[in-house]
């Protein structure tokens, strides 16, 4: 799995692929909305465990398709 930081364009592509918003991502992985906003504009690098998790989610989405979206939505709703 690629351990390079995720750039803003890749982050936008992953969010679009997973059909989740930046706010939903923040809730899902337990970071602040400000952190996700910083990643999305390139102010801070998205690296480490958060980057790995997003890449795994993206890869799973490619494999599993619609089931991942349903699972993500269920987890987001459980958090709220």
How do residues 11-44 score in pLDDT, each as one tens digit?
Answer: 999 999 888 999 999 998 889 999 999 999 999 9
Q: Is 42 left (phi over 0), alpha (psi -120 to 50) or beta?
A: left
Q: pTM here? A: 0.73
Averaged pLDDT of the chain: 87
pLDDT number for residue 60: 80
79 CB-near residues (< 8 Å, 6+ apart): 27, 28
Say which CATH topology domain 8-79 has.
434 Repressor (Amino-terminal Domain) (1.10.260)
Inform me whether the pLDDT recorded for 47 exceeds 90. Answer: yes
């Amino acid at each position: 799995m690629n351990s390079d930081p995720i750039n803003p364009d890749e982050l936008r592509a992953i969010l679009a692929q997973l059909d989740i918003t930046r706010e939903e991502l923040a809730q899902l992985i337990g970071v602040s909305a400000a952190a996700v906003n910083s990643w999305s504009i390139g102010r801070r690098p998205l690296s480490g465990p958060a980057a790995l998790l997003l890449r795994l989610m993206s890869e799973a989405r490619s494999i599993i398709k619609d089931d991942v979206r349903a699972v993500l939505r269920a987890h987001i709703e459980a958090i709220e």
